[in-house]
Chain A
Amino acid sequence: MIYTIRLFLILLLLSCCSYVSYSQVVPMIKVATIGVPNESITLKDFQNAEYSFLKVRIGRSANANLTLATVKNNILEWVSATNEKIYTYNGKIIKVSGIGKNISFITYSKFAIEPQTIDSFDVQLYNPGAVIQQVSDMRFVDYREIYHLDEKINTQYFKEYVITKEFRWKYVNHYWVDDSTNRVIKSKQSIHPDFPSLEIEYFYK
């Protein structure tokens, strides 16, 4: 909806003012209508990278790469060039900072990507601030082949059904676990009710 409103406003302004050039507006109209293309990471890109990194796509926006900065107590801290941070634990996002709609899991140590795991977690939401409790039901779906670094790899595909107790917010997270390393290689996760879901590909070195 926000894209539709943005497009409407762009067209409205174009017809009533003479201050904005087309070279500035055309890219915005493109983003407002079809979004930004999802560029894939090639083997060459991976080889050129010095450290592990993840590629994240928020909704239909452009991709961003976050570099692995620290690993502490199995928590991986990924940092972008403009200081946005994503923290993952066993492939699940447990903390996000610098994006305006941040979250932080208060309890997360029991999280594991294993079939038929039902657990509850306390989560701090920001903007607006609230502490909520979520019930997570992890289910194995099937084995899938996905493309990663220009080649097909075998993965186990999991779905995590999440229910929020305090208000109506239900969603499903998706995880693809690399068969050979048992690491999450790709995921699609919701983090905040007012924020689009995050599509993440992990590139470990």
Chain B
Amino acid sequence: MKITQKIFLSFFVLQSFISIELQSSIYDYRFPNSTYPSYSNYGTIGIIQMPNARMMPEGSLGFSWSDMDPYKRGSIVAYPFSWFEASYQYTDIGNALYSNIEAFSGKQTYKDKSFDAKFLLFKETKYLPAVAAGARDLAGTGVFSSEFIVASKRVNNFDFSFGLGWGILNNNHTFSNPFSVLSNRFESRSVNEGLGGNINTDAFFAGDTGVFGGVEIYLPNLKGLRIKLEYDGIDYTKEGFPFGEDSFKYAFRSVRSQESKFNYGFVYPVNDSFHLKFNYVKGNTFSFGFSIQANLGKKNSVIPKEDPYVKTPKADVVRSVTAKKESLVYLSSLRSLRSNNLFIQNAKIEDSQLDIVFTQSKHSSFARAAGRAFTVLDEVSPDYIDTFKISNINGGVGMHTIEIKRDAFKRNQESKLHKLATKNIKVERFKYKPQDYTYAPKPTLPAFFYKVVPTVRSQIGGPDGFYFGDLRLSLHTETLFKKNLSLITSASVGIVDNYDNLKLASDSSLPHVRTDIVKYLKSSKDYSVRRMQLNYFSNPYKDIYAKLSGGLLEEMFGGVGGEILYRPFNRTWGIGAELWRVRQRGYNQMFDFEPDTAYQTTTGHINIYVKEPRSQVLLTLRGGKFLAQDSGINFDFSRRFKSGLRVGAFFSLTDISEAEFGEGSFDKGFYFYIPVDIFFNFYNKGNAAFGLRPITRDGAAILVHSHHLWGITEQAQGHTILRDLDDIYD
């Protein structure tokens, strides 16, 4: 080949790559708001009725709602990992009543609760599709239960999906179950019986196999509008209560039967987070819905922060003054750190090292708090100080110490080279001894802090009605008697509620430690004291932390008790124990205890915590005696993301039978801790907690006391500082 030909060929190849690159970039503008896949009518990512193999990024949370006669479905969807989709939904089945006893459930229609799960088995490659497997209506009554394996491949702006389905996804009976060559159990499908809540693994991928498929077409220059077409795999003669009373005794009409196996629809993304969807299903039914989703796991995922470090005014002048007298270094640090919501408790200067002890409640990233403290110290310290050592306390107990060379911190600050700055950083355990320090501000004790905020209490999905709740005005106070001795109180007055029709009484054969919730909600609706808990914290020896508490510990129990935790600083695990003597509180949630039941018990657990530091997955095991005097283990899995978002699920196995536990068979649920500063332009350490148990039962109930030691001592383990070192220059 001639040189000119080679050059031409090279240029052509290079040009091709550039063109592809440009084309793919322009694609993002031609198809805006197409970052996230869209939701199916079943509340999880999919086509119209069918699932596909698409996933949201890990750390995403979504809510989806759809209305397709006779079903109205609301779903909460979470992505703890990029390969795992988990959802929980309520389906209002509009052609059946909750019960035929009007006194029990009024005219409320049937509500079905279900869990769905989907796992990504293979990621999409240039030539091969993404493959996922999943199940709908796990651990429910089974009226929507199905399993599927589905493949999805994107070709330009077409996203094709093809899948195999079992359960109600076998409409087509195309072939017998291919898994039957592995085992006879796949040949026929068993029916879930009992009290619901159990996962019927025998039915997984069993029975006849159907096929389904579809395509999602992204339309150019239409703000990301997508058209969806699909071949429906659902057997509508098995889903829900299709034939009215013949299918279920409380059903009062039939569901429109399928006239076409092809469904059509479109999705209009108002923006990346909010999608509207309109579909035409079964050849005779319109559906409508919306979804809202966001990746809350990323740092500053929703609103960028406008909460910069507060500079020390005239820092040059301050430095020249502090060089003259050591005590002025302390006073200047005290003032400038306070401007940044960092509060010095003690300080000393030894040779060329400035050593301070501080506390803070603004930053969930301990590295960011440390970085801001270093910046202040650098601004106000005279030149002879070459090392900063800052130590953090929480609840009056030592947590950690970070030591950094001033030069390394300052040199890399402008370029924000946190890896270089923290190359020789020392992060160690801190045993707090105030007497070792020269300077300390004089605190005015007792100190009193308070906040008045609106709060909402909710009771969802009961037979009396789908939603009961009240809006309240709450007063939260904290009285600090000593650094490690405080009283926290939470009291509220009701503003508005709809509890009048809430009447379901407990049917539990166990002590009513939770199922008297209706009595508590109704009796405390005017005013209540949710908590009044006295806490004393201590650090008796190295990595051992202790807490003693007493008072009104939670909404339903008061008493005394304590907790002890061994949490080695350079490890990622901890082990602890707690023991409480408690008595059931009065239904009015004031200061008296319930005279009718006079229920009292001793409850306690051995707590084991194991954290995988890279994924930030925490496994918590609590084994012991629960409030209703049943014994067993509570398993809790959660994952923390960079933003501070925590997504978790739990279940408990105790020595009571399914019949004793009642509906739901065993205790289980999920929760999210969403850092509030995600939604604001300033940093804040608080979390908004959302938790849900499908059924409130008495078995496996745990005392919900405040200020657990594992949470209080989070910053007393090295990895919790090291994981956020990239925040040191924020």
Find chain B residues with CB under 8 A from A5 CB. 271, 273-274, 292
Q: For A62, give the chain B residue with the smallest CB separation.
A: B306
B471 — nearest CB in chain A belongs to which residue? A15
Q: Is A147 an interface residue (CB 8 A)?
A: no
Within A28-81, the residues touching B (CB, 8 Å) are: 28
Which of B22, B292, B476, B676 touches A130 (beta carbons < 8 Å)? B22
A168 contacts the other chain (Cβ, under 8 Å)? yes
How many chain B residues touch the partner (CB < 8 A)?
37
Query: Can you offer 14 A-B residue contacts whose CB atoms are under 8 A?
Result: A1-B270, A5-B292, A9-B302, A10-B680, A13-B679, A16-B455, A17-B453, A17-B676, A17-B689, A18-B476, A20-B684, A130-B25, A130-B28, A132-B29
Q: How far is the CA of A17 from the CA of B153 in the complex (A)?
A: 42
B302 touches A19 (CB 8 A): no
Q: State A18–B685 Cα separation when bound (angstroms).
A: 11
Contact call B681/A28, Cβ cutoff below 8 A: yes
Q: Do A20 and B680 contact each other (CB < 8 Å), given the known contacts A15-B456, A130-B25, A130-B28? A: yes
Q: Quick check: B690 and A2 within 8 Å, CB to CB?
A: no
Nearest A residue (CB) for B18: A131
Contact pick for B303, options A6, A17, A100, A194, CB 8 Å: A6
From A2, A16, A128, A169, contact of B28 by CB (8 A): A128
Instruction: Report whether A167 and B29 are in contact in the complex, using a CB–CB cutoff of 8 Å.
Output: yes
Also in contact, A6 and B686, with CB within 8 A (given A128-B29, A130-B28): no
Contacts of B690 in A (CB 8 A): 16
From B22, which residue of chain A is reached at the shortest CB distance? A131
Task: Name B271's contact: one of A2, A10, A15, A131 (CB within 8 Å).
Answer: A2
Give Cα A165–Cα B476 distance, bound, in whole angstroms. Answer: 58
- Nearest B-chain residue to A10, judged by Cβ: B679
Picked from B292, B304, B451, the residue with its CB within 8 Å of the CB of A21 is B451
**Distance (whole angstroms) from the CB of A201 to the closest CB of chain B:** 23
Nearest-Cβ distance from residue B25 to partner chain A, whole angstroms: 4
Is A193 part of the contact surface with B, judged by Cβ < 8 Å?
yes
Q: Which listed residue (A125, A166, A193) contacts B32, Cβ 8 A?
A: A193
Q: Does B26 contact A (CB under 8 A)?
A: yes
Task: Knowing A1-B274, A5-B273, A6-B679 are in contact, say whether A14-B454 is a contact too (CB < 8 A).
Answer: yes
Q: Which residue numbers of B lie inside 8 Å of A, CB to CB?
A: 22, 25-26, 28-30, 32, 220-221, 270-271, 273-274, 292, 302-304, 451, 453-456, 471, 474, 476, 676, 679-682, 684-690
Q: How far is the CA of A91 from the CA of B270 in the complex (A)?
A: 33
Mask for A87-129, Cβ within 8 A of B = 1, else 0?
A: 0000000000000100000000000000000000000010011
- Number of A interface residues at 8 Å Cβ cutoff, please give it: 31
User: Do B455 and A15 touch (CB < 8 A)?
Assistant: yes
- Measured CB to CB, the closest approach of chain A to B21, in angstroms, equals 8
> Contact at B30–A1, with CB atoms within 8 Å?
no
The CA of A166 and the CA of B456, in the complex, are separated in Å by 50
State whether A18 touches B451 (Cβ < 8 A).
yes
Q: How far is the CA of A6 from the CA of B679 in the complex (A)?
A: 7
- In the complex formed, the residue of A with least CB distance to B302 is A9
CB distance from B505 to the nearest CB of A (A): 28
Give chain A residues whose Cβ lies under 8 Å from the Cβ of B25: 125, 128-131
Whether B686 lies near A20 (C-beta < 8 A) is yes
Distance, CA A6 to CA B274, complexed state (A): 12
Query: CA of A16 to CA of B22 in the docked complex: distance in angstroms?
Result: 46
Known A-B contacts A1-B271, A5-B273, A28-B681; A19 and B687 likewise in contact (beta carbons under 8 Å): yes
Interface residue? A181 (CB, 8 A): no
Asked if A24 CB lies within 8 Å of chain B CBs, one says yes
Smallest Cβ-Cβ distance to B361: which chain A residue: A19
Q: Hey, which bits of chain A sit against chain B, CB under 8 A?
A: 1-2, 5-6, 9-10, 13-21, 24-25, 28, 100, 125, 128-132, 166-169, 193-194
How far in angstroms is the closest Cβ of chain B from A80?
13
For A21, list chain B residues within 8 Å (CB): 451
Chain A to chain B: the 4 pairs with minimum beta-carbon distance, closest first: A19-B686, A130-B25, A168-B221, A128-B28
- Beyond A2-B271, A130-B29, A166-B29, 5 additional contacts (C-beta under 8 Å) are A9-B302, A17-B453, A18-B453, A130-B22, A130-B28
Distance in angstroms from A156 CB to nearest chain B CB is 33
Q: A25: nearest residue on chain B (CB-CB)?
A: B680
Contact of B26 among A18, A28, A132 (CB under 8 A): A132
The docked-state distance in angstroms from the alpha carbon of A186 to that of B688 is: 45
A167 partner residues in chain B, CB cutoff 8 A: 26, 29-30, 220-221
- Docked Cα-Cα span, A101 to B317, in Å, equals 39
**A78 CB → nearest B CB, Å:** 21
Q: Give the distance to chain B from A72, nearest Cβ to Cβ, in Å.
A: 25
How far, in Å, is B685 (CB) from chain A's closest CB? Answer: 7
A20-B28 in contact given A5-B273, A5-B274 (Cβ < 8 Å) = no
Which residue from B26, B454, B684 sits with its C-beta under 8 Å from A166? B26
CB-defined contacts of A14 to chain B, threshold 8 Å: 453-454
Residue of B nearest to A126 (CB): B25
Evaluate whether A130 and B273 lie within 8 angstroms (CB atoms) in the complex, with A17-B686, A18-B453 already known: no
> Quick check: A13 and B676 within 8 Å, CB to CB?
yes
- Docked complex Cα distance between A5 and B22 (Å): 33
**A19 contacts across to B, CB distance below 8 A:** 676, 684-688
Contact A130 B26 (CB under 8 A): yes
User: Once bound together, how far apart are the Cα atoms of A13 and B678, in whole Å?
Assistant: 11
**Residues on the A chain within 8 Å of B451, using CB:** 18, 21
CB contacts (< 8 Å) of B22 on chain A: these are: 130-131
Contacts A15-B454, A132-B26 given; does A24 touch B682 at CB 8 Å: yes
Complex CA distance for A18 and B684, rounded to whole angstroms: 11
**A195 to B487 Cα, complex, angstroms:** 49
| In the complex, chain B residues whose CB is within 8 Å of the CB of A9 | 302, 679
Q: Output the least CB separation between A162 and chain B (Å).
A: 14
Known A-B contacts A6-B303, A167-B30; the reply to A16 vs B271 at CB < 8 A is no
**Cα(A51)–Cα(B28), bound, Å:** 40
CB distance from B49 to the nearest CB of A (A): 28
Q: How far is the CB of B327 from chain A (nearest CB, A)?
A: 33
Min CB distance, A196 to chain B, in Å? 14
Chain A residues lying within 8 Å of B679, measured Cβ to Cβ, are: 6, 9-10, 13
The residue in chain B whose Cβ has the minimal distance to the Cβ of A9 is B679
Contacts of A125 in B (CB 8 A): 25, 29
Q: Is the CB of B455 within 8 A of A18?
A: yes
Cβ-defined partner of B688 (8 Å) among A17, A130, A169: A17
B680 near A24: Cβ-Cβ < 8 Å: yes
Chain B residues positioned under 8 Å from A18 (CB to CB): 451, 453, 455, 474, 476, 686
> Which residues of chain A are near B471, meaning CB under 8 Å?
15
Q: How far is the CA of A28 from the CA of B26 in the complex (A)?
A: 34
Q: Is the CB of B29 within 8 A of A193?
A: yes
Instruction: Across the interface, name the chain A residue whose C-beta is closest to B220.
Output: A167
Residues in chain A near residue B271, CB distance under 8 A? 1-2, 5
Q: How far is the CB of B290 from chain A (nearest CB, A)?
A: 12
A20 in contact with B676 (CB, 8 Å) = yes
Min distance, Cβ B186 to any Cβ of chain A, angstroms = 45
Residue of B with least CB distance to A16: B688
Give A194 to B31 CA distance when docked, in angstroms: 12
CA–CA, A66 and B66, complex, Å: 48
- A128–B28 Cα distance when bound, in Å, is 7
Write out the residue numbers on chain A whose beta carbons fall within 8 Å of the beta carbon of B455.
15-16, 18
Specify which of A6, A17, A25, A166 is in contact with B687 (CB 8 Å cutoff): A17
Q: How far is the CB of B271 from chain A (nearest CB, A)?
A: 6
A131 to chain B, nearest CB (A): 6
Query: Closest CB of chain A to B532's CB: distance in Å?
Result: 16
Of the listed residues A1, A14, A130, A132, the one surrounded by the most CB atoms of chain B closer than 10 A to its CB is A130
Q: Which residues of A sit under 8 angstroms from B474, Cβ to Cβ? A: 18
Q: How far is the CB of A104 from chain B (nearest CB, A)?
A: 14
Q: Whole-angstrom distance from the CB of A3 to the nearest CB of chain B?
A: 11
Q: How far, in Å, is A205 (CB) from chain B's closest CB?
A: 28
Chain B residues with Cβ below 8 Å from A194 are 32
Are the CB atoms of B680 and A166 closer together than 8 Å?
no
Task: Determine the chain B residues whose CB is within 8 A of the CB of A16 once the complex forms.
Answer: 455-456, 688, 690
Shortest CB-to-CB span from B300 to chain A, Å, is 11
Q: Give Cα distance in the complex from A25 to B677, angstroms.
A: 11
Closest residue of B by beta carbon distance from A31: B681
